[in-house]
Chain A
Amino acid sequence: DGGITQSPKYLFRKEGQNVTLSCEQNLNHDAMYWYRQDPGQGLRLIYYSQIVNDFQKGDIAEGYSVSREKKESFPLTVTSAQKNPTAFYLCASSPGTGQNIQYFGAGTRLSVL
């Protein structure tokens, strides 16, 4: 089945620790995105990538880092510099052309221990 896979579903971070959230897609999409969602709020863009080996900061990039070494993969690292990391993280991908609809993974819920 084609789709976007995020792992893990739940993740716990200790203070001072970096953690990495995985996002893999087999839709052959060029563009990928990372969003953060806090309770009762919409999605805020962290980073996005239009093509392999290229990515841009979104609205709330501080304390996060990404890489795009393969078309299928766009991992997000939540660094120790992110002081309030508890949130629901959503990865999405889109074709990059046409209506360019974004399709979302099931999300990762990150909590701080």
Chain B
Amino acid sequence: GQNIDQPTEMTATEGAIVQINCTYQTSGFNGLFWYQQHAGEAPTFLSYNVLDGLEEKGRFSSFLSRSKGYSYLLLKELQMKDSASYLCAVRDWETNAGKSTFGDGTTLTVKP
């Protein structure tokens, strides 16, 4: 099984940088995903990490350390529209279907 932990809520200021952490425990790690979900909407894919290191995509970056069971999502130059829930999801080797376990999400509020 898997256990995924994320902070419940975070607040940051427009234009700033925020880091959302995710720690996990899994018997057979096979990839970690970050999704963004605005209230009442479907999650949308942000990033994928399977090897250690940093993946950068514009204002968003995601980091993975498999030995520490740790990932973070870094959001730069925050905008008001970045206010959303950010979900960390971990896939393991039990199935090749991409079955993933999701954390409860971190609700980010961006203030002016």
> Which positions in A face B, CB cutoff 8 Å?
31, 33, 35, 40-45, 48-50, 56, 58, 88, 90, 94, 96-97, 99-107
A43–B42 CA distance with the chains assembled, in angstroms: 11
> Which residues of A are found within 8 Å of B89, using beta-carbon distances?
43
> Which residues of A are found within 8 Å of B97, using beta-carbon distances?
31, 48-50, 94, 96, 100
> Which positions in B face A, CB cutoff 8 Å?
4, 31, 33, 40-45, 48, 50, 87, 89, 91, 95-105
Task: Give, as a whole number of angstroms, the nearest-CB distance from B56 to chain A.
Answer: 16
A33–B102 CA distance with the chains assembled, in angstroms: 13
A56–B48 CA distance with the chains assembled, in angstroms: 25
Are A40 and B33 in contact, with the CB atoms below 8 A? Answer: no
> Which residues of A are found within 8 Å of B101, using beta-carbon distances?
45
A42–B34 CA distance with the chains assembled, in angstroms: 12
- Ranked 4 nearest A-B pairs via Cβ: A100-B98, A104-B42, A50-B97, A42-B102
Are B43 and A90 in contact, with the CB atoms below 8 A? Answer: yes
Task: Give, as a whole number of angstroms, the nearest-CB distance from A36 to chain B.
Answer: 11
Task: Give, as a whole number of angstroms, the nearest-CB distance from B36 to chain A.
Answer: 11
> Which residues of B are found within 8 Å of A35, using beta-carbon distances?
102
A23–B91 CA distance with the chains assembled, in angstroms: 23
Task: Give, as a whole number of angstroms, the nearest-CB distance from A74 to chain B.
Answer: 12
> Which residues of A are found within 8 Å of B4, using beta-carbon distances?
42
